[in-house]
Amino acid sequence: MVREELSSKSISIVEVGPRDGFQNVRKEIPTGDKVKIIDLLSAAGLRSIEATSFTHPKWIPQLKDAAEVIRRITKPPGVVFSALIPNEKGLDRAIENGLEEVVFVVSASEALNRENFNKSTWESLAELSSIAEKARRNGVQLRGAIAASFGCPFEGSVSVERVIEVAEAFRNAGVSAVTLADTTGMAHPLQVKELLSVLLSQLSDLPIALHFHDTRRIGLVNVYSAWQAGAKIFESSIAGLGGCPYAPGAPGNVATESLVYMFHKMGVETGVNLDRLVECSQITQELVSDRRPDQGQG
């Protein structure tokens, strides 16, 4: 997470393509190509990059080279590289590999949490305190992410109260920020505005990040709505990589280059060089291009 104070005329971006994007690419991306893309992202000015996931390769074989990726990437000063961790074992591997920040995901929807992690939301949150304690002892920053914050493919709507409960649990565990993830691209702009107006007033001390998908081509509209509601941290993916396992063929995450273009046009700084980012997007698309036709691009 970018640590400096943000002025009203700037936002910060968490680039999630190397984790959220690569894990949805069926083709095996050579480790060297992953390293090249991550290096281009940091060279373009991105200061927070979710670089991989320390999840068992049985579940996400696409990221089985997590440790090697972290070892080989260039680490310019001021750039924070993070990894997703599904459990304490993932945290141990992140610590061994010198990560500064980890992300722990809990779903606001009971059904999606069981589907993804084979346990209830509250069982996941029960693990949180030991993970947070170990991360703190090891000087690793912990970020929370709430999947299905705007709806669940199994349960349908997810209540604002439920999202707040999970966000409060994360805050009590001492996380540096919480990401509201629109895991299956169900959010709409008025819902975004309403959820954020409640969250930003009730949990005003907790930095909130937004993770939107372009499943229904309204990802950027949701970004704009969140920004108008006061949000300043956005997660996005280079070339719009990513996808939704419940909507085959749907576009992936909001594309970082589209998000940067929009904010720059509005006079909002991102710290990113758009020309270099667009070049990085083109190279990324070439390197991952022989994906199966049902993989979204966005």
- Choosing from 15, 20, 50, 214, the residue that interacts with Mg ion (CB under 5 A) is 20
Distance CA 191, CA 160 (A): 10
Ranges assigned E (strand) in 182-267: 208-211, 233-236
Minimum distance from residue 18 beta carbon to Mg ion (Å): 12
Specify the DSSP element, H or E, that contains 113.
helix 110-117
Cβ-count burial 41-55 (b if 16+ within 10 Å, e if not) = bbbbbbbbbbbbbbb
Q: Which x/- pattern, by CB under 5 A, does the window 237-276 give for Mg ion?
A: -----x----------x-----------------------
| Cβ at position 79, least distance to Mg ion in Å | 21
Q: Which two tokens stand for residue 136?
A: 């703190």
Residue that the structure tokens 């920053």 belong to:
141
User: Of the two residues 132 and 181, which places its CB atom closer to Mg ion in the complex?
Assistant: 181
Q: Is 101 in the site for Mg ion (CB under 5 A)?
A: no
Q: 151 and 187 in contact (C-beta within 8 Å)?
A: yes
Could you confirm whether 244 is annotated as catalytic? yes
Give least dist CB 275 to Mg ion, A: 25
Measured CA to CA, the distance from residue 1 to residue 233 in angstroms comes to 9
Q: Which residue's CB is nearer to Mg ion, number 95 or number 179?
A: 179
CB of 212 to Mg ion, least distance (A): 8
Of the candidate spans 14-22, 75-83, 189-197, 258-266, the one that interacts with Mg ion by CB under 5 A turns out to be 14-22
- The residue among 242 and 298 lying less far from Mg ion, judged by its C-beta, is 242
Token digits of residue 217: 């081509």
Q: Just list the catalytic residues.
A: 244
Q: Which residues bind Mg ion (CB under 5 A)?
A: 20, 242, 253
